[in-house]
Copies of this chain bind each other. A is one copy, B any other.
């Protein structure tokens, strides 16, 4: 059996906060637990927020904003994006510098601490996960996994789901058939993106209120040393670039 445990009672997170200390104080962790953390609190602790005030939008940002969008927000989207895949102003689907494909290159106005602010994705979510894991393991003496999550839309399917954008201490992929040496698309179609499923499971308790940005998934057997970077489709296998 697997349990998904909401971590309640965390305070509002601000830049410089010690997330590991806060989480360790809020929940009793066990060996093998995977601690799932919504990126918004990681980003806030890391100071990855931006003020719209003072941002000077480029011509392209004005175009992408259309009639309904804030061109300053779109300017930040352009700065976070490596590539724009689709645009229907003010909606932009972009590839981030990390390689993630998501709306607004992860620039999120809805979870910002103030009205004129946006939350950005962490600079390096795998590094964020590794740091958080180290801090939690040091405080608890347990062997842990950490997944940093965000909610992404999907091509062809309605609604958004929580996925892994950073990971530490787990195998993010699990071979479905237990066979060896599959290559390319054969591998793609026979491995489960288990870190994304863990993130999705965590959202089932995280999403109910704004104040549960952390959940523990207990009872998995996923200890390992991979990163969420492995969840990005390699360009040579990507049929939808």
Q: Main SS of the interface on chain A?
A: mixed
**Residue pair A193, B159 in contact (C-beta under 8 Å):** yes
Contact with B along A90-108 (1 / 0, CB 8 A): 0101010000110100000
Query: Which of chain B's residues have a CB closer than 8 A to the CB of A162?
Result: 192, 197
**Residue pair A207, B192 in contact (C-beta under 8 Å):** yes
Q: What total of chain A residues lie within 8 Å of the partner, measured CB to CB?
A: 63
Q: How far is the CA of A237 from the CA of B88 in the complex (A)?
A: 10
**Residue pair B240, A200 in contact (C-beta under 8 Å):** no
Query: Which of chain B's residues have a CB closer than 8 A to the CB of A10?
Result: none
**Residue pair B161, A192 in contact (C-beta under 8 Å):** yes
Which residues A181-236 have CB closer than 8 A to chain B? Answer: 185, 188-194, 196-198, 200-201, 203-205, 207-208, 217, 220-221, 230-234
**Residue pair B156, A238 in contact (C-beta under 8 Å):** yes
- Chain A positions within 8 Å of B, measured between CB atoms, are 1-6, 86, 88, 91, 93, 95, 100-101, 103, 110, 151, 153-163, 172-174, 176-177, 185, 188-194, 196-198, 200-201, 203-205, 207-208, 217, 220-221, 230-234, 237-241
